[in-house]
Amino acid sequence: MKYDVNEQGFYGEFGGAFIPEMLYPNIQELKSSYREILSEDAFKEELESLLKDYVGRPTPLYYASRLSTHYGADIYLKREDLCHTGAHKINNTLGQVLLAQRLNKTRIIAETGAGQHGVATATACALMGLECIVYMGAKDIERQAPNVSRMKMLGAEVCAVHSGSKTLKDATNEAIRDWINNPDDTHYIIGSAVGPDPYPDLVTQLQAIISKEIKEQMEGLPTHVIACVGGGSNAIGAFYNFLEDESVNLIGVEAGGMGVQTDKSAATLALGTKGVLHASMSYLMQTSDGQVVEPHSISAGLDYPGIGPLHAYLHDCSRVTYKNVTDEEALEAANRLMKLEGIIPALETAHALAYLEKMNFTTTDKIVINLSGRGDKDMNTYINANI
Ligand SMILES: *Cc1c(COP(=O)(O)O)cnc(C)c1O
As a residue count, the chain comes to 387
> Is pLDDT above 90 for 353?
yes
Q: With cut-offs at 50, 70 and 90, classify the pLDDT of residue 295.
A: very high
Per domain, the residue ranges of the chain are: 20-51+89-194, 58-86+204-384
Q: What residue's CA is closest to ligand 1, atom 2?
A: 301
Tell me the β-bridge partners of 136. Answer: 112, 160
Q: Measure 353 CA to ligand 1 centroid, in angstroms.
A: 14
> Is pLDDT above 90 for 167?
no
Does the domain formed by 58-86+204-384 have CATH 3.40.50.150?
A: no
Which among 85, 150, 211, 228 is the best mutation to test ligand 1's pocket, defined by most ligand atoms within 8 Å of the CB? 228
Res 313: pLDDT: 98
353-365: b or e for each residue (b if 16 or more CB lie within 10 Å)? bbbbeeeebeeeb
With a 6 A CB cut-off, is 113 part of the ligand 1 pocket?
Answer: no
Q: Measure 373 CA to ligand 1 centroid, in angstroms.
A: 8
pLDDT in tens, 135-154: 999 999 998 899 999 999 99
With a 6 A CB cut-off, is 301 part of the ligand 1 pocket?
Answer: yes
With a 6 A CB cut-off, is 234 part of the ligand 1 pocket?
Answer: yes
How would you write 118-173 as a 3-class SS string? HHHHHHHHHHHCCEEEEEEEHHHHHHCHHHHHHHHHCCCEEEEECCCCCCHHHHHH
Measured CA to CA, the distance from residue 35 to residue 118 in angstroms comes to 24
Q: With cut-offs at 50, 70 and 90, classify the pLDDT of residue 64.
A: very high
**Burial class, 200, CB count within 10 angstroms (exposed 0-12 / middle 13-18 / buried 19+):** buried
What strand order describes the sheet that includes 107-112?
157-161, 131-137, 107-112, 186-189
97-118: b or e for each residue (b if 16 or more CB lie within 10 Å)? bbbbbbeebebbbbbbbbbbbb
Q: Amino acid letter at 25?
A: P
Measured CA to CA, the distance from residue 309 to residue 289 in angstroms comes to 21
Q: Measure 346 CA to ligand 1 centroid, in angstroms.
A: 9
Q: Measure 148 CA to ligand 1 centroid, in angstroms.
A: 18
With a 6 A CB cut-off, is 122 part of the ligand 1 pocket?
Answer: no
Which residues neighbour 35 within 8 Å (Cβ) at sequence distance 6 or greater?
198
Measured CA to CA, the distance from residue 215 to residue 243 in angstroms comes to 12
Q: Is it true that 20-51+89-194 and 58-86+204-384 share their CATH fold?
A: yes
Measured CA to CA, the distance from residue 295 to residue 151 in angstroms comes to 25
Q: Which of 89, 166, 169, 377 is catalytic?
A: 89
State the angle between helix axes of 116-128 and 145-153 in degrees (0 to 180), rounded to the nearest 10.
10
With a 6 A CB cut-off, is 192 part of the ligand 1 pocket?
Answer: yes
> Is pLDDT above 90 for 165?
no
Measured CA to CA, the distance from residue 228 to residue 81 in angstroms comes to 13
Which residues neighbour 320 within 8 Å (Cβ) at sequence distance 6 or greater?
239, 250, 251, 252, 311, 314
Count of helices and strands (H, E) across the chain: 16, 14
Instruction: Establish whether 111 is a catalytic residue.
Output: yes
Res 120: pLDDT: 98
Q: What is the mean pLDDT of residues 59-86?
A: 98
Res 206: pLDDT: 98
Measured CA to CA, the distance from residue 110 to residue 161 in angstroms comes to 13
**Omega of the bond leading into 196 within 30 degrees of 0 (cis):** no
Q: With cut-offs at 50, 70 and 90, classify the pLDDT of residue 348.
A: very high
Q: Are 295 and 303 in contact (CB under 8 A)?
A: yes
Measured CA to CA, the distance from residue 135 to residue 113 in angstroms comes to 9
Of 25 and 165, the structure prediction assigns the larger pLDDT to 25
What percentage of the chain carries pLDDT values higher than 90? 96
Q: Measure 131 CA to ligand 1 centroid, in angstroms.
A: 24
With a 6 A CB cut-off, is 147 part of the ligand 1 pocket?
Answer: no
Q: What residue's CA is closest to ligand 1, atom 5?
A: 230
Tell me the β-bridge partners of 77. Answer: 62, 369
Instruction: Establish whether 246 is a catalytic residue.
Output: no
What percentage of the chain carries pLDDT values higher than 70? 100
Q: What is the mean pLDDT of residues 55-71?
A: 98
> Is pLDDT above 90 for 358?
yes
What's the CATH number of domain 20-51+89-194, 3.40.470.10, 3.40.50.720, 3.40.50.1100, 3.20.20.120? 3.40.50.1100
Q: Which of 68, 78, 111, 299 is catalytic?
A: 111
Gyration radius (Cα) of the chain, Å: 19
DSSP 207-239: HTHHHHHHHHHSSS--SEEEEE-SSSHHHHHHH
pLDDT in tens, 82-100: 999 999 999 999 999 999 9
Mean pLDDT of the chain: 97
Q: With cut-offs at 50, 70 and 90, classify the pLDDT of residue 169.
A: confident
Q: Which of 166, 299, 372, 377 is catalytic?
A: 372
pLDDT in tens, 97-107: 999 999 999 99
Which residues neighbour 318 within 8 Å (Cβ) at sequence distance 6 or greater?
none
pLDDT in tens, 193-229: 999 999 999 999 999 999 999 999 999 999 999 999 9
